[in-house]
Amino acid sequence: MGQGQSWSLTNKELIAIMDTMKQISILFCLILFFLISCNNQAEPVKTQAPAPGTEKTTEPPKQASPQAVEAEPSGLPQVVQTEQETAEGISPAPLFDPASISQEEKDTAKTEIQQLIQRLNSIIRARNYNAWVTYLDTNYFTVISSPEYLDRISQSAVLVKQKIVLKSAQDYFRHVVVPARTNDRVDDIEFISQNRVKAYTVNSRGERLRLYDLEKTGNEWKIIN
């Protein structure tokens, strides 16, 4: 070709070039789409095995250990004290560790309370109301003398059946204490503070029944509940 001669492409060549560019564009778009898909794909969740000694095991439900039955002896009307009566009859005790009571102290207290209950049994059998009152804490006597308390005790099944309505602490002694408390026996005690205990008896079924709550002031035990 001489100088100044221009190149010219045939229609066939132009169509071939355009087809090639189109294929290259399609290939580029596919590659770009593939890269975007890989970046957006969520990584699989990895489950890491627990370190030795840290395996979580499912423990079977624990069964509650048998507890002592705390109830009034048969024949005495079942009474649930209200918060007000509890506050009036027994003031809240400070935090207390039962381990602070030595075995010797517990044995001594148990003997003293057993002797007290024996004397009280004799007084109750003799229906000696005046002597019985001397074994009661003043606040407790106030509670059992209140009209609200006497009215609620009067609603017990035993007294309703007998058509007895309590009007005084002496009525309570005659119709509730005397029928139920003439043969009490202390088999165990539990300290609830440095000078307060719960006294228990154990019946023929092995149930531990609460007899009294007592408090010691000076050298004298008094019934507080």
Q: State residue 84's pLDDT score.
A: 39
111 vs 17, more confident: 111
- pTM, entire model: 0.60
Does residue 9 carry a pLDDT above 70?
no
Does residue 71 carry a pLDDT above 50?
no
Contact 208, 202 (CB under 8 A): yes
211 vs 48, more confident: 211
Torsion of CA 27, 28, 34, 37, to 10 degrees: -140
Average pLDDT in the chain: 78
Q: How many angstroms separate the CA atoms of 29 and 37, rounded?
A: 12
Q: Which two tokens stand for residue 198?
A: 């719960």
